[in-house]
Amino acid sequence: MEWYLVSYYGLIVLSIVLSFVAIVNGHKRYLPLLLVLIFTQLVEMYAQFSILKDRPFVWMYHFFVCIEYSLLVLYLRLAINIKKVGRIIIFTIPVFVILSLLVSHFFYHFQDFPGINICTEGFLLFIFCVVLLFNLDVVEDESIFSNPDLWIALGILIFEGGTFFYNGVYTKLLSIDADKAMELFGLINKPLNLCLYSFINIGLVCLIKKKKYTTR
């Protein structure tokens, strides 16, 4: 197994452990984050298994993007203390899921990489993360860099911003030159994946180190 997969899986497993510890310590609102991390690990393991067995697996990303978006925006909703924004976030969940599945059925036929779905997810997550960053809870005499939501939101922003344009054209590039498309996909996604989960882990460490626990 190459070093990237070891690092990637290691970071995801670490984030699962840290988020579980945080929840046990009273940070209940991070449950959606824990769930999306578990789903991510299961999907990535199944993808690697399917590659080894030469089985199709792209179909599962059409469903995973719906689960991932729903859970991530639930985490963001609990982190943003603005009722109006919270209502908008909840409204986007069924709308996104329905539209995403329609695109998967009529455009991709659940066979090709769901680039449009992922780009739409990334665009919405980017907006909500920016809103979160502008509405972080500031604690007097405490560094902003000790705020776990800062790190997690930054990780999502960097990842979604970095992969946005390429995900949209990935399917088209595959039809032109599959090898080059996959090589470029790896060059873009691999470092951004490591960055995302590194930032999530930093945020979770900051969360666990907090002396006062909350169930908000």
In tens, the pLDDT along 174-198 reads 777 777 877 887 788 899 999 999 9
Question: Rounded CA gap, 9 and 44, in Å?
Answer: 9
> pTM of the predicted model, to two decimals?
0.91
pLDDT value of position 214 = 44
* Percent above pLDDT 90 for the chain: 73
Pick 216 or 64 by higher pLDDT. 64
